[in-house]
Amino acid sequence: MTPEALWAWIADCAAPPLVMGVLNVTPDSFSDGGAFLDAAAAVARGMEMLSEGADLVDIGGESTRPGSKPVDAAEQIRRTQSVIAALVRATGCAVSIDTTLAEVAEAALAAGACVVNDISAGRADAGLLKLVARRRAGLCLMHMQGTPATMQQQPTYVDVVAEVGQFLSERRAAALAAGVDPARILLDPGIGFGKTLEHNLSLLHSLRDLTGLGSPLMVGASRKSFIGRILDQPDPGQRVHGSVAAALWSVTNGARVLRVHDVRATVEALRVWRALGGEPAMA
Ligand code: HH2
């Protein structure tokens, strides 16, 4: 999908949900770490995901798995910028940059990315929301309790769905106050980011409650450890079927964008879901 078509498509609830393919240019991501650290391999994987039906590609140069350490801006740029430029040049597709740092986002937008996917929802770097506004880029605001280094130590909520909803509302308001285009914002409950198995299940169960916050929802459940817990499957690469089940549940309950590693499996499942009359049930 082209960057120009992206936001009108997402806003049109009669149109099929979008699939965002995950491309981690990192040595240590939880499921594909090291596989695409080489730029040529990363570009090839991006092209492969597009040929499998991905609508956009999310490129990241920093793992945010539980316990991970921050990667500085220069290294994130070194890992991602040439991959973004090559992929956009070859395909013209929409690309998002998965980063919390304005400097990395700026380099990615210069290379042709059109969305900034910030797991800190604009809290990690004061300049990020203003940059997105200035460049009229798209923005994904994700919920996370704590930081990747510590987030799984003891996540605590009184009412996880209400608290995530409140957080996303506040961060959306902050983005609007910074001048971000309201028609180019996605909200994401942040599956696995400072959440136990029960928290993740509650959020997915009540996803519909988060569809009324003023922006479309994105969900990234793919290969995450809650699926491993349910299936007793420690290998993230063996969580494909469970991930597809979570994806179908998510679109049925209002998600407009799915962030996934297994593009082909997800796209095929969505096609059957659509053929059967699958539609999002909004709040
Ligand atoms: N999950 C991951 C990274 N970025 N961004 C959004 N908006 N939503 C998510 O659920 C999300 C995200 C973690 O997955 P992955 O990129 O595969 O792993 P790692 O952080 O280890 O690179």
pLDDT, residue 142, reads: 98
For residues 33 and 30, what is the distance between their CA atoms, to the nearest angstrom? 6
SS3 182: helix
Q: Is the CB of 140 under 6 A from ligand 1?
A: yes
Catalytic residue among 195, 239, 256, 259: 259
For residues 201 and 190, what is the distance between their CA atoms, to the nearest angstrom? 12
Q: Is the CB of 226 under 6 A from ligand 1?
A: no
Low-confidence spans in the chain with pLDDT less than 50: none
DSSP state of 26: S
Q: Which two tokens stand for residue 221?
A: 């459940």
Q: Is the CB of 119 under 6 A from ligand 1?
A: yes
pLDDT, residue 281, reads: 59
Q: Is the CB of 26 under 6 A from ligand 1?
A: yes
How far is the centre of ligand 1, averaged over its atoms, from the C-alpha of 271 (Å)? 24
Residue 107 CA to its chain's centroid (Å): 19
Q: For this structure, is 224 an active site residue? A: yes
pLDDT, residue 32, reads: 81
Catalytic residue among 45, 172, 224, 239: 224
Q: Which residue has the tokens 């597009």?
A: 50
pTM: 0.96
- Which ligand 1 atom is the nearest neighbour of the CA of 190? 10
For residues 229 and 30, what is the distance between their CA atoms, to the nearest angstrom? 15
Q: Residue 21's beta-bridge partner residues?
A: 57, 260
How far is the centre of ligand 1, averaged over its atoms, from the C-alpha of 5 (Å)? 24
Query: First CA to last CA across the chain, in angstroms?
Result: 27
Residue type, 81: Q
